[in-house]
Amino acid sequence: MAEAAAAAQSAGGGIAHIYSLPPAQEALARHLAHIRLALHFGLEMGVLLALWLLLESGLARWLAQIAMRMSKRAWMQTAWFALGVLLVFNLMVFLPMNAMGHGASLQAGISIQGWLSWLRDEAVATLLMVAVAVPILVFGRWLLMRSPRRAWLWFWLASIPVILLGALILPEVVEPLFDHFEPLTATHPELVVQFERVVARTGTRIPPQRMYLMQASAKGNGLNAYVSGIGPTKRIVVWDTTADRMPKDEILFILAHESGHYVLHHLAWGIGMGIAGTLLLLWLMMVLSEWLLRILGPRWRIGSITELQGLVVLLLALAMLETLSEPVGNTISRAIEHQADVYGQEAIHGIVLDPQRSAVAAFQQLGLAWLEDPEPNPLVVFWTYDHPSIQSRAEFAARYNPWMPGKSPRYFPASPETHSGK
Ligand SMILES: [Zn+2]
């Protein structure tokens, strides 16, 4: 893999080099693309099927009866029922599907995380999911019992501070449960110095203490950098695999892309759209679940959405809507990622020797590390990709030179000392 990456880099020589893989890796990437697609839709269908089966088989009713025997209080009953449903659900759907995904990732050499360590991460994620979801479901049912018609609206209002708090504590509380983080200055001070040049051009301060290195090499060979948190917890994180293996100019492009998310307020936009989307989703969820109950309530022996099993109907409606709305969220995400690509390439102009070549080489490396399909089906991209395909990102980067005469950069005023036009 290392030789292939080196070959891809040296082959550039100033001329744009579009994403391609050596034959063996390309075959593996195409094979992996099929597995990823099957797992992606398998998980979505699995979620819908499991919820449907819970209702259809009477398992939901049986869990409700147990929950009602466990306590006399309505909120405790909801908590027991929610716990039962979530655990059954996890064992039936998430655990097996995630295990298949991990197996494929191990086989392809993308992950090197042992099964025991993987299982530990799964257990922590499940506990976290239960700790968050059970109180939310208890609160939701409490609202439903008080105001069946307006519960969705009150629930949405209450969700806003929770969404904001979630985004705030994610990097401080949640991410360290799974990975180790340290200040980037401690291990890669030279990278911080370089990156500060990019930051200085953006006009926004990203102080070095908000740059972190994540130890990803213990678990895999993938390359990544990302932004996370809001307000005081906002940060840029670089995986150690990226910091150690990629040439400086390519890392700078990735960091400039990430600082684009930072500067263009993509996190705030994402949260804002999440809040707005939640309102629509909750309303549609109520409408759909009432319709489901009208049609199938008698068959499932559920008279009202306020019954314990009503929660499963709500979850089924939510899962149906999320499955259908997936391309909407992904289309928005791809547009945002493209903006950050444009920003990143403009931000490193004058700092690296050849922004186009650095961007293309970075995509080549990312594609190789994750074994990205060089020719994904456009429909698959439209429906499931939250980033544009590596191929289209590389092709755009190769073409994009806003410093040529007659063109103008989107985010940075053209500086007189441009050295483009190669
Ligand atoms: Zn991005």
Q: How far is the CA of 264 from the centre of ligand 1 (A)?
A: 11
Question: How many Å lie between the centroid of ligand 1 and the Cα of residue 294?
Answer: 43
263 Cα to the center of ligand 1, angstroms: 12
Beta bridge partners of 18: none
What per-residue confidence (pLDDT) applies to 197?
Answer: 87
Which pLDDT value is given to residue 1?
A: 38
Distance of CA 254 from the midpoint of ligand 1 (Å): 8
Q: Name 389's Cβ contacts closer than 8 Å, sequence gap at least 6.
A: 372, 373, 376, 381
What is the distance in A from the centroid of ligand 1 to the CA of 39? 23
What are the pLDDT digits (tens) for 310-322? 999 999 999 999 9
pLDDT of res. 5: 43
422 alpha carbon – ligand 1 mean position (Å): 28
* Residues around the ion ligand 1 (C-beta < 5 A): 337, 340
Asked if residue 261 lies in contact with residue 344, where contact means CB atoms within 8 angstroms, the answer is no
Measure the CA–CA gap between 194 and 212, rounded to whole angstroms: 15
Q: What is the model's pLDDT at position 415?
A: 56
Q: Tokens in use for 372?
A: 């990205």
User: Helix, strand, or coil here: 233?
Assistant: helix
What parts of the chain have a pLDDT lower than 50?
A: 1-17, 416-422
Distance of CA 20 from the midpoint of ligand 1 (Å): 21
State the Rg of the chain over Cα: 24
> What pLDDT sits at residue 89?
86
Q: Give residue-wise pLDDT tens across range 33-66.
A: 999 999 999 999 999 999 999 999 999 999 999 9
- 329 C-alpha to ligand 1 centroid (Å): 14
pLDDT of residue 131: 95
Q: Quote the strand ranges of 104-233, DSSP E.
A: 181-183, 211-214, 225-228
Classify burial at 307, counting beta carbons within 10 Å of its beta carbon; exposed 0-12, middle 13-18, buried 19 or more: buried
Parallel, antiparallel, or unpaired: how do β-strands 211-214 and 225-228 relate?
Answer: unpaired
CA of 159 to the centre of ligand 1 (A): 26
Burial 181-209 (b: 16+ CB within 10 A, else e): eeebeeebeebbebbeebbebbeeebeee
| Coarse DSSP helix, strand, coil percentages of the chain, rounded to the nearest 5 percent | 70, 5, 25
Task: Compute, in angstroms, the gap from residue 178 CA to the centroid of ligand 1.
Answer: 21
Residue with tokens 């006009």, as numbered in its chain: 203
Using the mean position of ligand 1's atoms as its centre, give its distance from the Cα of residue 156 in Å.
28
Q: Which residues contact 276 (CB under 8 A, 6 or more apart)?
A: none
